[in-house]
Amino acid sequence: MDLATLDQLIILVMITAVLAIGVRGYRVSHTITGYFLAGRGLGPWVLAFSIMATYFSAASFLAGGTTYLFNLGFGAWLTAWHIIGVVLMWVLVAERLFRYSSKTKIISVPDFIEHRYQSKGAKIISACVILLLFTLYLTSVYKGGAVILATVLNIKFELALILLALPVIVYVCIGGLKAAALNNLVLGALMLLAAFITFYAIMSAVGGPISGLEALGSMNIMDRMPGSLWLRLDGAGPQPAMAAGMVPSLIMSITFSISVAQVALPTLLMQFYAAKDAKVINRGRAIGSLAVAAYAILVFSLGAFCHIILDPQLSSGEVMALMKDTDWVIPKAMNMLIPSGLRGLVLAAPVAASMSTLAVTLLLLSGAIVRDIIQPLKPSMEEKKLLLLAKISPIFFAAISLVLTLFQTDIIVEIVGAAFGTIFVCFFGPVTIGLYWKGATKHGAVASMISGLVVGLLWYKFLYKVTWIYPVIPALVVSLPLFFVVSMLTPKPSNEVLKLLEAK
């Protein structure tokens, strides 16, 4: 067996394994609750790793190369905000949301919005936001994993997309969240292992962090840019942002937007409903926070050090091409530094990350269309029919996102770029703050979701590359004040609902 074949075999074994593991979820997927919430039986390790693996898509592993273009301040702040975000999610949101769901038997995030604000309209609006933004967001998840699969297996991109999506669709349709969560435990562990290997290989190649920083600071990038620019927060970044003196604000707004989003992402929050009991949340808090922190620390700053490894082997034009498309920085470095077999294990990580994110997102979309739109419109529909629709609908959403990935238009690319942060903005007020603030109303929630959606998408399309401020910031500046002001001016929910917000 040649070495390239060994890399391919490792990836194919991983894909086969997720199918085998996913079938185990079938035993609890015979009811709506079993399918969407794993029978409310997830333990701390499975829950913690499933949330971690869901949050980190292929982009998170490939994002290690971002500091090949940006200065190390990007990696440092991205790591810091990730740690802050994951701790806030587990400490402020997890247990409170779990207790609310246990009292009310809600299944989805739009379910929470309907029950919390006593409004079917608010529920349908939140479901529509989820359907729009997460369907588009999946195109970036597809692309990241399929690019790696196509490269390692030496197949066409289109075939790689199908190979990525098909196993996930099968085990999600069969086993629901139980299948996804069990797989995410394995895939999350693989991502951490690959992160350790990648960090060790790159740090060994540059002589350790201190020697690496010294070497980076003393070199010239493309014979014209001093490496010291990568050691300053106001240093290296996209050329237009550097020329405008906006690199620090760009770094701070992007890293905040991506990382703190954890506290309001429906794909993460819905999994807290599936915890077996409150003890699972308490135990998972440490596991989940440490897993996210370890991954962020190991991965997010590696790209800058790759200048030391890659640049001597590349022309100035090739370096510039890598700085324009930093997704290839870490894979290229790994191809150079580690042997085949181990390389296959490392490159399996972004594929694993794509599969884990894809699985839970398809479940979220299935719940949004079946539980949050179809069931309210047809309340007399039998559970068996709803369950059948729930198990079929992931195929529909997977196909839509796959087609969008193949035939992206400029406007789709722009919306995808804004989707992740806009999702956070739309749900931060109505869900995260709404868990605590009894004064929040349905009118405030609706105003917050709609304004966040509109401002986030329009800012990304028309103003982002003028101001170099990531759209989450202006969207929050508009949506949060609206959430508070409109809520204070409109009638409150009933006392019966507000009592459910109490911590115990």
CATH number at residue 286: 1.20.1730.10
% of the chain surpassing 70 pLDDT: 97
The answer to the question of residue 449 being in a domain is no
Distance CA 357, CA 346 (A): 18
Identify the helix (H) or strand (E) that includes residue 157: helix 157-206
pLDDT of residue 416 exceeding 80, the answer is no
| Assigned domain for 336 exists | yes
Given the structure tokens 């580690």, which residue do they identify?
Answer: 338
Q: What's the domain range around 370?
A: 3-405
> 161's torsion region: left (phi>0), alpha (psi -120 to 50) or beta?
alpha
Q: What would the mean pLDDT of 226-236 be, rounded to a whole number?
A: 94
Higher pLDDT, 447 or 353: 447
Residue 185 is classified by DSSP as: H
C-beta separation of 199 from 294 below 8 A: no
Q: Is residue 454 part of a domain?
A: no
Res. 58: pLDDT tops 80: no
pLDDT of 308 over the 80 cut = yes
Task: List Cβ neighbours of 154 (8 Å cut-off, separation of 6 or more).
Answer: 4, 8
| pLDDT at residue 1, as a whole number | 45
Q: Does some domain include residue 425?
A: no
State the pLDDT at residue 20: 86
The confidence score (pLDDT) of residue 486 equals: 97
What distance in Å separates the CA atoms of residue 166 and residue 179, rounded to the nearest whole number? Answer: 14
* Alpha-carbon span 493 to 458, nearest angstrom: 32
What is residue 347's predicted lDDT score, i.e. its pLDDT?
82
Average pLDDT over every residue of 119-129: 94
Share of the chain above pLDDT 90, in %: 64
**DSSP-based helix, strand, coil % in the chain, nearest 5:** 80, 0, 15
What average pLDDT does the segment 136-151 reach? Answer: 85
Query: Assign residue 208 a region: left if phi > 0, alpha if psi is -120 to 50, beta otherwise?
Result: left
Q: Is this model's pTM higher than 0.85 or not?
A: yes
pLDDT of residue 414: 52
Model pLDDT, residue 262: 92
Instruction: Give the span between the Cα atoms of 195 and 79, in whole angstroms.
Output: 14
In a domain, 502, yes or no: no
DSSP-derived 3-state class of residue 413: helix
Examine residue 422 and state whether it is found in any structural domain, yes or no.
no
- Both tokens of residue 419? 């989707």
pLDDT, position 415: 60
**DSSP H or E run through 220:** strand 220-221
Domain assignment present for residue 469? The answer is no
pLDDT at position 141: 86
Take residue 257 and report the two structure tokens written for it. 């937007």
Distance CA 246, CA 139 (A): 29
Q: 474 in a domain, yes or no? A: no
Q: Identify the three-state secondary structure at position 221.
A: strand
Q: pLDDT band for position 409 (50/70/90)? A: low
Average pLDDT over residues 84-93: 96
* Domains of the chain: total: 1
H helix count then E strand count, the chain:
25, 2
As a whole number of angstroms, the distance between CA 65 and CA 316 comes to 17
The confidence score (pLDDT) of residue 467 equals 87
Task: Report CA Rg, the chain.
Answer: 22
Identify the pLDDT of residue 504: 61
116: three-class secondary structure by DSSP: helix
Q: CA nearest 90: which of 47, 38, 60?
A: 47
Side chain identity at residue 204, one-letter code: S
